Amino acid sequence: MTVGAPLIRLTGISKTYPAAELSLRGTKLVTQGPALWAKQLARAARLTAVSGEPVRALTDVTLAVYPGEVFGLIGPNGSGKTTLVKIVAGLLRPSTGTGEVAGVDLAQAAIIRRRVSYVSTTGWMGLEWALTAEENVRFFGLLCGMSPALARQRTLAALGDVGLVADGRKAVSELSNGMRQRVILARALLLRTPIVLLDEPTVGLDPVHRRQMLELVGETLPKRGQTVIIVDHQADAIEGIARRAAIMKDGRLVGVGTPAELLESLSGLKVVELISRGGAQPETLPPRPVRAVEQVLRPGPLGLTQWHLTVEERPDALEAALGWVLSGGGEILQVAEHAPHLADLLAAQAPDEQEAG
């Protein structure tokens, strides 16, 4: 249950990115040298029409996150999670909508940015490869106005939190990808801002460090009084630690609630995991008890396919699912059933079947 005033409140937030390409009298211009300059100048002066379609990244998102919460954002790639988090961080301006972050209006991005820590694991992660892990983290502390002594002290503590003290003196170029991710997490832990935004923080981490990281996010940060928004397209990462979560699809919130509340919408469903060998994609649509199908071809010479079927809890459901898979030929090697997880929400339900939160 949530109590008190929200720390983050967003109302009707939409974000549209402008079209990327343009044409001049229907002819696509080359993108080098003087032609590029002319193109961009013409565009800046609004002399030419934009031919590409603007990208609608978020549509009418309304959301409240409360102090001390660990709040999960779940959704497939391209569903608008990162855009939403960047708006909360003050790095992006919404196209429409209003909101407050830590008591500050969204329009005052400069103040908001002092109250959030943001971790993104995309690209180079903002790390300087030639410097050590310790130098990278400490530099960020200095940028944020810490004294050198405090920056050093907090850096060591943050590296300790992410299990990197022993490797702190190594250049980032010498670290594994997972260790680099832990460096940027350490950077986010440095400031102890009221709000911590973590965008896919566990991607690329090995299981042990992934678990440690989730424990840190789920336990240590709330104990420090920090509110966390954690973004992941792997819902199981969030299911274990988030007090509440939102499901995003196509730029919309399609469900908000505690993991248990969200899973209620899957009551009456179960998940059947199959591994098959040989055969082809069935030519018919799946029968009624099968609500969603995900299939992954496993690499290798054995021709194995992994099936993830969300089916209704009915006595004939398993038989119907197996029959449908076998209609494509081949043989079933392994069958397992389990209750659905948050990730199954994305596969099982179309966005228009759910209520926005």
List interacting residues with another protein (CB under 8 A): 15, 17-18, 31-34, 36-37, 40-41, 43-44, 57, 82-83, 86, 89-93, 102-103, 109-110, 113-118, 120, 122-126, 128, 130-131, 135, 139-147, 150-151, 154, 171, 191-194
Instruction: Output the smallest distance, CB 183 to another protein, in A.
Output: 12
Helix 148-161 to helix 177-190 angle (10° resolution) is: 130
CB of 285 to another protein, least distance (A): 36
Q: How far apart are CA 341 and CA 162, in angstroms?
A: 27
Distance (Å, whole) CA 168 – CA 4? 40
Shortest distance in whole angstroms from residue 54 CB to another protein: 10
- Are residues 194 and 226 in contact, defined by beta-carbon separation less than 8 angstroms? yes
Nearest Cα to 328, choosing from 262, 250, 290, 276? Answer: 276
Query: From the centroid of its chain, how far is CA 294?
Result: 20
- Cβ distance to another protein smaller for residue 28 or 93: 93
* C-beta of 135 vs 294, nearer to another protein: 135
- CB nearer to another protein: pick between 57 and 70: 57
Cβ distance to another protein smaller for residue 7 or 317: 7
CB of 190 to another protein, least distance (A): 8
Q: Are 65 and 29 in contact (CB under 8 A)?
A: no
Q: Nearest-5° angle of CA 167, CA 171, CA 175?
A: 60
- In the complex with another protein, the residue whose CB is nearer, 137 or 343, is 137
For residue 274 the two structure tokens come to 């199959």
* Order of all β-strands in the sheet with 331-338: 290-297, 304-312, 269-277, 331-338
State which residue, 220 or 295, has the beta carbon closest to another protein: 220
Q: In what order do the strands lie in the sheet with 8-17?
A: 55-65, 8-17, 96-101, 104-105
In the bound complex, what is the minimum distance in angstroms from residue 107's beta carbon to another protein?
12
